[in-house]
Amino acid sequence: MQDELTQDNPEIPDNNDDLYERFSFKTDKGQEPLRIDKFLMNRIEGATRNKLQQAINAGMVLVNGKDVRPNYKVKALDEIIVYSDMSPEEMEIVPEKIPLNIVYEDDALMLINKPPGMVVHPGSGNYSGTLLNGVAGYLKEKDPSFREESLPRFGLVHRIDKNTSGLLVLAKTEKAMRHLAKQFFDHTIRRQYIALVWGDMPHDEGTIVAHVGRHMRLRKLFEAYPGGEHGKEAITHYKVKERFGYVTLVECILETGRTHQIRVHMKYTGHPLFNDDFYGGDKIVKGTVYAKYKQFVDNCFAVCPRQALHAKTLGFIHPDTGKEVFFDTPLPDDMEQLIARWRKYVSTTGNRQ
């Protein structure tokens, strides 16, 4: 018997910064009774029984709109929704004492302002010193009995790049994790990024629509696919905040959360992020390469030695109160200095292209 799969692609994708994907199934009218974890293991690539049971216990699996227990047996015409953990690998998180900039915390969640250069979670080549190592150490110091099994990945439901600074929300309870994961999936989270991009943006505001997926040859990179034949749908709204001739300061609002989305979309428009070494922003893209200008740009690269991108705001419905909350962070010092240099350069040279 073949049940109906209404998710676009049954494979777990690897291009989400939002770490949960929703899978929707409707069983055939001839479906034989079968434990739900066994049923789902046969239909979601990469799923393990342990992870599925954790998801079921956390309320991330709904049958006919209701939570079920791990021993539930699916039957004919069941409608099943799975909010699936999108982490690319199992991670062993060793608690470490790492300074964290916690901007807000209550019993349900915590907001952290991540500095540039910090990896969010352990993975290949980064087994310690990550934000989650610090969160694990922090939570265990507050409550020595805390175990990761009670909250997978210490509440991580989304991530930002190593060299991007800004706000991350982490859940501290299973209820909060489930609630936030659904908001990220449903694109109801309000996220504003500030970026400095190469070139003079032709419009004061606009929307970039192009699928984002892994590069066909260079697997560490992502690419924009405007035809939608590859990757996942990605939508970025932007608005110009300030113009400096050769570069533009923009505000970006994410409607979707794909890996490297803003970086890829800006490259796609011909305006890569300033000093983005992955996507061509770490060289002079706009402006005549003469000695003084080149020296000025090199000095700017030294001041902000990473892509000029900051996750400035985050708004969502609080899992416990049901009320909308909104958080804002100032730009980090390296981006403030970078913007000040471009502002001064324009004012002294009068060169706006």
To the query of whether residue 186 is one of the catalytic residues in this protein, the response is: no
Amino acid at 243: R
**HSE-CB for 313 with a 13 A CA cutoff:** 14
SS (H, E, C) 155-216: HECECCCCCCEEEEEEECCHHHHHHHHHHHHCCCCEEEEEEEEECCCCCCEEEEECEEEECC
Helix axes 333-349, 291-303, angle to 10 degrees: 160
How many CB atoms lie under 10 A from the CB of residue 128?
11
Amino acid at 156: L
Catalytic residue (choose from 78, 161, 276, 334)? 161
Q: What are phi and psi of 338, to 5 degrees?
A: -60, -50
CA distance 261 to 27: 35
For residues 195, 200, 206, 207, the Cα torsion angle rounded to the nearest 10 degrees is -60
Q: What are phi and psi of 108, to 5 degrees?
A: -100, -30
CA distance 21 to 181: 9
Element (H, E) at 315: strand 309-317
What secondary structure letter does DSSP report for 272?
P
Any idea which residues carry the catalytic annotation? 161
